[in-house]
């Protein structure tokens, strides 16, 4: 006879499945809810994983309804739940719409909270400082500061997303928000009313807390030292948009140091030193020397052959020895600033924070100086013979911009660190996304995240792709590597764009291609005297472009990789998606190149095991923009002949939804212009 606990679990599992029935709790409470077998199956699998405390990796095609499929079992299973998403819009949608709808449908009361990174909340202390110092460089900054002050006096959350009148990229934001380097924590005079800590206290107390992957990783890796473990201990972890985890893990388990960070530390020292300990040191002289050394380093990078826009692995810098004395000079100037800060220790809490900051910066400068001094490995990277937790394979590389530079160390197998972190967490983990497989296999994703012993499951999209969508592969295309390829893309796409009255996304693999395609489209529109709103990446923020697209009704948006995912435009508004070519990561990118060489050294085949699956997963994301619900119709046009001429093209095509196909422009136009039956 089953025990009472087993019986209770069986009852709960049955309730989870029943909630998704045509006459179930969701159907009764959620307008427009449609019962889907795959959604109920996924919910049952999620429930089983929660009960077993295991790891479930679930791919759910667009339209499966995965959000309800994980929320319902997580809520019914009880205990504390953490849901992490990849993007802020999904975080907001979960908090404001999906989670309240599920709780309502199930008649369950639970405390819910949303927690974002600290840069999303107004910092009352820094805001007051910006106001009292009155050193804002522009009139616009002054106006924005006034808006922030007014907002701070009225809001209960301090979440800057609620203050639409100050743009996302306004220069005021870094001055009125905090970083882990400059937050005073419990020493802060505004600690009791602080929005960051209020949000964290609410998250700690909530039954269900919604975060994003960056925050989740920060907690997992205990990087935000000012508050360790700021997320509650939970019984269930759900990671939505899980395909983003490997790259976010690579950032978190890696390290980076920028010239902007160094300059900011210098500026903060000068302003705090002068205001809090004016007689404590020659702050102006010390920081001016330090900042000059930072600028000298930028110049030295140029002299060593690193061009603006370059991303170069250390071992490729032939004149890297010339950089060592410049690093050492900078380190020396940092040591003088640090000495002055030490002498004044105890006079002011904010000034004291700079001691830790400068110590850390000096440690990183020292590491870089050592790395530059090392003779290049035969294969150029930091690959220990026997990788371990302390000794993980990584690549060091430098990126240079017009006025700045960033020094990066990226782990080559971030999954190992993620797997160790997972092993230390006892609760159930559910990882889900619409794109976790390549050629129907999870191998690549599993290798990337390193987590062993996971259960995998996938549910195809319930949409009728052969009816709803047409894949158009034009004939007689040049190679995607041809210099005039971007013009060919624009010229081949234009007849479809024109016939469709815009309502199109043109997704390119590089920013350079975006500009060229947009330029040529502009010319074609002028020639045909048919002007459609042309929205081009780089002209304003991503969010502003998407909003403009939504409100236009006839726009053409040309964007690169950041537009391939996370955009949900339903109905007629987006009925044509054009993809220029297979999104293989550039093989000369330092991290990609190092990964290829690392895999080769491990006796594996980088193309099949890394480059191709990565491209397929990204391709699936791009393609996924087109059909968002049962009534959507549209054409997907891909201009890469390798899909048909290369052996791997078959694998890519087999990984895409089962669209009807054509090679003829007339068919594609007919499909676009035909009224749905
Ligand atoms: S505790 Fe930190 S974030 Fe909060 S007001 Fe103070 S400095 Fe700002």
One DSSP character per residue, 333-391 reads: HHHHHHHHHHHTTTS-HHHHHHHHHHHHHHHHHHHHHHHHHSPPPSS-SB--SS--SSS
| Comparison of pLDDT for 308 and 3, the residue scoring more | 308
- Cα–Cα distance for residue pair 575/504, rounded to 1 Å: 6
Q: Is the shortest distance between the CB of 227 and ligand 1 below 6 Å?
A: no
Which 3 state secondary structure label does DSSP give 494?
helix
Percentage of the residues of the chain whose pLDDT score is greater than 90: 73
∠ CA 490-491-493, rounded to 5°: 65
Alpha carbon 84 to chain centroid distance? 12
Q: Which atom of ligand 1 is nearest to the CA of 191?
A: 1
Question: Which pLDDT does position 227 carry in this prediction?
Answer: 44
Residue 507 exposure: Cα atoms within 13 Å on the Cβ side: 27
pLDDT per residue as tens digits for the range 121-137: 999 999 999 998 877 88
644's enclosing H/E stretch is helix 642-645
Q: Which residue has the tokens 């976010």?
A: 248
Q: Whose CA is nearest to atom 3 of ligand 1?
A: 123
643's enclosing H/E stretch is helix 642-645
Q: What is the DSSP string of 151-193?
A: HHHH-SS-BGGG-TTS-TT-TTHHHHS--TTT--GGG-TTGGG
Is residue 462's pLDDT more than 70? Answer: yes
Among candidates 415, 409, 401, which has minimal Cα distance to 381? 409
Q: Is the shortest distance between the CB of 124 and ligand 1 below 6 Å?
A: yes
Give, for ligand 1, the residue of 123, 193, 199, 351 to mutate: max count of ligand atoms closer than 8 Å to Cβ. Answer: 123
Q: Would you place residue 358 in the very low, low, confident or very high pLDDT band (cuts 50, 70, 90)?
A: very high
pLDDT per residue as tens digits for the range 623-663: 999 988 888 999 999 999 999 999 999 999 999 999 999 99
Give, for ligand 1, the residue of 149, 194, 199, 225 to mutate: max count of ligand atoms closer than 8 Å to Cβ. Answer: 194
Q: Is the shortest distance between the CB of 596 and ligand 1 below 6 Å?
A: no
Q: Which of 170-179, 410-419, 554-563 has the weakest average pLDDT?
A: 410-419
The phi and psi torsions of 676 (rounded to 5 degrees) equal: -60, 140
**Which residues fall within 8 angstroms of residue 450, CB to CB, at 6 or more apart?**
413, 414, 415, 416, 417, 418, 419
pLDDT per residue as tens digits for the range 219-237: 887 654 444 466 778 899 9
Is residue 29's pLDDT more than 70? Answer: yes
For 330-348, give one letter per residue: b (16+ CB within 10 A) or e: bbebbebbbebbeebeeeb
Q: Which residue has the tokens 């210098």?
A: 266
Handedness of CA 348, 354, 359, 360 (dihedral sign): positive
**Burial class of 262 by CB neighbour count within 10 A (0 to 12, 13 to 18, 19+):** buried
- Cα–Cα distance for residue pair 199/109, rounded to 1 Å: 20
pLDDT per residue as tens digits for the range 499-547: 999 999 999 999 999 999 999 999 999 999 999 999 999 888 888 899 9
**What is the whole-number distance in angstroms between the Cα of residue 190 and the centre of ligand 1?**
6
> What average pLDDT does this structure show over 14-18?
95
Q: Is the shortest distance between the CB of 125 and ligand 1 below 6 Å?
A: yes
**What is the whole-number distance in angstroms between the Cα of residue 257 and the centre of ligand 1?**
24
Quick one: DSSP state of residue 97? I
pLDDT per residue as tens digits for the range 153-208: 999 999 998 898 898 888 999 999 999 888 999 999 999 999 999 999 999 999 99
Percentage of the residues of the chain whose pLDDT score is greater than 70: 94
138's enclosing H/E stretch is none
Q: Whose CA is nearest to atom 8 of ligand 1?
A: 123
- Cα–Cα distance for residue pair 385/388, rounded to 1 Å: 10
∠ CA 45-47-48, rounded to 5°: 65
When the pLDDT of each residue in the chain is averaged and rounded to a whole number, the result is 91
**Burial class of 460 by CB neighbour count within 10 A (0 to 12, 13 to 18, 19+):** middle
Q: Do residues 123 and 183 touch, judged by C-beta distance below 8 A? A: yes
Is residue 18's pLDDT more than 50? Answer: yes
Across the strands, what pairs with 57? 431, 456
Q: What share of the chain is helix, strand, coil (3-state, %, to 5)?
A: 50, 15, 35
Q: Whose CA is nearest to atom 2 of ligand 1?
A: 183
**Which residues fall within 8 angstroms of residue 123, CB to CB, at 6 or more apart?**
176, 177, 178, 183, 194, 195, 196
- Cα–Cα distance for residue pair 54/30, rounded to 1 Å: 30
Question: Which pLDDT does position 377 carry in this prediction?
Answer: 57
Q: Which atom of ligand 1 is nearest to the CA of 226?
A: 2
Q: Could you give the angle at which helices 124-133 and 139-154 cross, rounded to 10 degrees?
A: 140
Question: Which pLDDT does position 19 carry in this prediction?
Answer: 97
The β-bridge relationship of strands 556-559 and 504-507 is parallel
Show the 3-state SS of 312-333.
EEHHHCCCHHHHHHHHHHHHHH
Question: Which pLDDT does position 224 carry in this prediction?
Answer: 46
Total residue length of the chain: 677
Q: Is the shortest distance between the CB of 185 and ligand 1 below 6 Å?
A: yes
Among candidates 337, 417, 397, which has minimal Cα distance to 593? 397
Q: Is the shortest distance between the CB of 217 and ligand 1 below 6 Å?
A: no
**Which residues fall within 8 angstroms of residue 164, CB to CB, at 6 or more apart?**
none
Q: In this structure, how many other beta carbons lie within 10 angstroms of the beta carbon of residue 328?
A: 14
Token pair, residue 452, equals 């062993």
Q: Is the shortest distance between the CB of 176 and ligand 1 below 6 Å?
A: no
> What average pLDDT does this structure show over 549-562?
94
Q: Do residues 106 and 261 touch, judged by C-beta distance below 8 A? A: no
Q: Whose CA is nearest to atom 6 of ligand 1?
A: 188
Q: Is the shortest distance between the CB of 196 and ligand 1 below 6 Å?
A: yes
Residue 88 exposure: Cα atoms within 13 Å on the Cβ side: 10
**What is the whole-number distance in angstroms between the Cα of residue 169 and the centre of ligand 1?**
21
Q: Which atom of ligand 1 is nearest to the CA of 186?
A: 1
Q: In this structure, how many other beta carbons lie within 10 angstroms of the beta carbon of residue 285?
A: 12
Question: Which pLDDT does position 2 carry in this prediction?
Answer: 62
Q: Is the shortest distance between the CB of 218 and ligand 1 below 6 Å?
A: no
Q: Which atom of ligand 1 is nearest to the CA of 188?
A: 6
Token pair, residue 116, equals 């974002």
Is residue 345's pLDDT more than 60? Answer: yes
Q: Is the shortest distance between the CB of 181 and ligand 1 below 6 Å?
A: no
pLDDT per residue as tens digits for the range 264-307: 999 999 989 998 999 999 999 999 999 999 999 999 999 999 99
Q: Do residues 106 and 19 touch, judged by C-beta distance below 8 A? A: yes
Q: Is the shortest distance between the CB of 194 and ligand 1 below 6 Å?
A: yes
Token pair, residue 651, equals 């694998």
Alpha helices in 438-589 (DSSP H): 443-449, 465-468, 485-499, 511-527, 542-552
**Which residues fall within 8 angstroms of residue 326, CB to CB, at 6 or more apart?**
293, 296, 297, 300
**What is the whole-number distance in angstroms between the Cα of residue 331 and the centre of ligand 1?**
29
Q: Do residues 669 and 499 touch, judged by C-beta distance below 8 A? A: yes
The phi and psi torsions of 466 (rounded to 5 degrees) equal: -60, -30
Q: Could you give the angle at which helices 665-673 and 485-499 cross, rounded to 10 degrees?
A: 40
- Cα–Cα distance for residue pair 548/569, rounded to 1 Å: 12
Give, for ligand 1, the residue of 122, 182, 191, 350 to mutate: max count of ligand atoms closer than 8 Å to Cβ. Answer: 191
Q: Do residues 437 and 445 touch, judged by C-beta distance below 8 A? A: yes
Token pair, residue 646, equals 């290369």
**Which residues fall within 8 angstroms of residue 424, CB to CB, at 6 or more apart?**
none
- Cα–Cα distance for residue pair 239/90, rounded to 1 Å: 12
């Amino acid at each position: 006879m089953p025990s009472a606990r087993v019986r209770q679990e069986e009852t709960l599992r049955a309730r989870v499945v029943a909630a998704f029935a045509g006459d179930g709790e969701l159907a009764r409470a959620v307008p427009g809810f449609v019962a889907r077998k795959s959604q109920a199956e996924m919910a049952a699998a999620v429930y089983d994983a929660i009960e077993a405390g295991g790891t479930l990796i679930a791919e759910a095609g667009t339209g499966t309804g995965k959000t309800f499929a994980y929320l319902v079992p997580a809520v019914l299973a009880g205990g504390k739940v953490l849901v992490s998403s990849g993007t802020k819009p999904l975080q907001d949608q979960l908090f404001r719409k999906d989670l309240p709808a599920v709780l309502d449908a199930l008649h369950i009361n639970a405390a819910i909270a949303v927690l974002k990174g600290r840069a999303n909340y107004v910092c009352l202390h820094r805001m007051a400082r910006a106001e009292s110092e009155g050193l804002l460089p522009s009139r616009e900054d002054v106006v924005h500061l006034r808006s922030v002050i007014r907002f701070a006096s009225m809001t209960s959350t301090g979440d800057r997303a609620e203050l639409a009148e100050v743009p996302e990229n306004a220069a005021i934001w870094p001055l009125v928000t905090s970083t882990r380097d400059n937050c005073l924590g419990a020493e802060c005079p505004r600690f009791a009313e602080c929005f960051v800590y209020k949000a964290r206290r609410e998250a700690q107390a909530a039954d269900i807390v919604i975060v994003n992957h960056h925050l989740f990783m920060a907690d997992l890796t205990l990087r935000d030292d000012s508050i360790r473990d700021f997320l509650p201990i939970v019984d269930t972890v759900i990671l939505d948009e899980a395909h983003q985890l490997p790259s976010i893990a690579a950032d978190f388990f890696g390290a980076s140091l920028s010239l902007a960070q160094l300059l900011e530390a210098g500026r903060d020292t000068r302003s705090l030193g002068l205001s809090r300990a004016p007689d404590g040191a020659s702050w102006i002289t010390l920081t001016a020397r330090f900042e000059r050394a930072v600028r000298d380093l930028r110049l030295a990078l140029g002299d060593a052959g690193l061009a603006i826009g370059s991303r170069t692995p250390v071992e490729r810098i032939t004149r890297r020895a010339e950089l060592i004395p410049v690093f050492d000079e900078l380190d020396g100037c940092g040591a003088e600033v640090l000495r002055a800060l030490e002498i004044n220790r105890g006079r002011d809490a904010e000034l004291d924070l700079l001691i830790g900051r400068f110590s850390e910066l000096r440690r990183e400068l020292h590491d870089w100086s050592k790395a530059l001094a090392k003779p290049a490995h035969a294969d150029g990277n930091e690959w220990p013979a026997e990788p371990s937790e302390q000794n993980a394979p990584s690549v060091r590389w430098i990126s240079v911009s017009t006025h700045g530079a960033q020094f990066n160390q990226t782990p080559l197998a971030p999954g190992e660190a993620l797997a160790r972190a997972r092993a230390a967490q006892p609760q159930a983990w559910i990882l889900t996304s619409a794109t976790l497989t390549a050629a129907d296999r999870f191998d690549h994703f599993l290798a990337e995240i390193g987590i062993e012993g996971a259960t995998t499951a996938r549910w195809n999209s319930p949409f009728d792709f052969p009816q709803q969508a047409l894949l158009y592969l034009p004939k007689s295309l040049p190679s995607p590597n041809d210099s005039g390829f971007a013009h060919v893309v624009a010229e081949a796409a234009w007849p479809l764009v024109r016939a469709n009255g815009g309502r199109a996304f043109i997704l390119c693999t590089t920013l350079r291609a975006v500009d060229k395609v947009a330029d040529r489209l502009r010319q074609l529109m002028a020639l045909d005297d048919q002007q459609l709103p042309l929205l081009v990446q780089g002209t304003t923020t991503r969010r502003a472009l998407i909003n403009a697209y939504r409100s236009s009704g006839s726009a053409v948006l040309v964007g690169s990789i950041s537009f391939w995912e996370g955009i949900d435009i339903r109905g007629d508004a987006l009925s044509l998606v054009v993809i220029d070519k297979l999104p293989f990561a550039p093989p000369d990118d330092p991290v990609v190149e190092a990964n290829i060489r690392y895999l080769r050294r491990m006796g594996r085949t980088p193309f099949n095991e890394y480059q191709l699956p990565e491209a397929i997963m990204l391709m699936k994301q791009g393609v996924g923009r087109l059909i968002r619900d049962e009534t959507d119709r549209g054409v997907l046009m891909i201009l890469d002949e390798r899909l048909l001429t290369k052996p791997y093209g078959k694998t890519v095509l087999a990984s895409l939804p089962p669209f009807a196909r054509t090679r003829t422009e007339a068919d594609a136009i007919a499909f676009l212009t035909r009224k749905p039956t």
